[in-house]
Amino acid sequence: MRPIRVGVIGVGYLGKFHAQKYMANPEVELVGVADLNPAYAAEVAGVCRTTPFTDYRELLAQVEAVSVVVPTSLHHEVATVCLQAGKDVMLEKPMTTTLAEADALIALAEQEQRILQIGHIEQYNPAVLAMAEHLTQPLFIESHRIHVFKPRGLDVDVILDLMIHDIDIVLSLVKSPIAAMHPVGMPVFTQTTDIANVRLIFENGCTANLTVSRISRDNIRRLRIFQPNSFVAVDYGKKEITVIRPGKELNANGMPQEEIISSCYLHQDALEMELKDFIKNVRQRTQAKVSGREGRLALAVAQEIMARIKEHAHTHRQLFNV
């Protein structure tokens, strides 16, 4: 098979990893990388043995597909230009800053018959993929995504920066409309929300409790799913899954002994798997696992959570200095 000609637009912290994964993929020809900062472009291009660009439009003329890894505020603008140029697009999360922008990209991708894949990388976490066979009827889901503060990604608040990962995962697991939500959040170090929690209650009876923070001293990324006769725990960072369920044997008290299944998948790389899937979709013209429509669903929930947190802050402005 001939290699797919690919470029990366935006090679800051995350974009450089996109470039490295493409460089290592024998099915890809990394034609070039683009960044407004010529030093970034030159550095990543040197490491990945490709050509640097400061104007991504010049790169577009030479590729079939691109990863767009620019700041979220530029997602709509850059992805629009790429789709209009007839290129397939791997767009990092969050998809856009507004639902109107998301709708415009979805419509444009359909009009141009282009792949629009959204970078919800946790969908490719090997522990998340492995948990699918153990799920029956999730009734309560608990998620914690706690990060050490880093001076990047601060153009959006913690809902779009971190919680949107968990929103996307929960929506893919429950597949039921949200009947009610109860969010809280507040700024601590920045002018936007830095720590937040939301309880989502679904029409099918499932409840999900999501907590995120980007001001911790430790990194914790865990998901727990409770369902009849079993409990499933996922550690995103360690790529571990643990399933606990009652066994057939009874203990001394006449209660079923716990049957514990644990697996670890450290040898698998989620970003590598995600980008390989994108290349497969480009080559075979297949639907993305996380298309623009799934990206929009997660964005819509995130926007509603943000709006309610803002409303709460205005109601209690004496506490939040609004």
Domains of the chain: 4-120+271-290 (3.40.50.720), 123-267+302-315 (3.30.360.10)
266-274: long-range contacts, CB 8 A cutoff, minimum separation 24: 266/238, 266/239, 268/126, 268/239, 269/21, 270/121, 270/122, 270/124, 270/125, 270/126, 271/17, 271/18, 271/21, 271/121, 271/124, 272/21, 272/24, 272/25, 273/124, 273/126, 274/119, 274/121, 274/123, 274/124
pLDDT for position 166: 97
Cis peptide before 151 (omega within 30 of 0): no
Distances (CA, A) of 315 to 195, 289, 310, 312: 18, 40, 9, 5
pLDDT for position 256: 74
pLDDT for position 154: 63
pLDDT for position 149: 84
Q: Which residues of the chain have pLDDT under 70?
A: 152-155, 314-322
Sign of the alpha-carbon torsion through 70, 73, 76, 80:
negative
pLDDT for position 246: 85
Contact 229, 165 (CB under 8 A): no
Three-class SS of residue 154?
coil
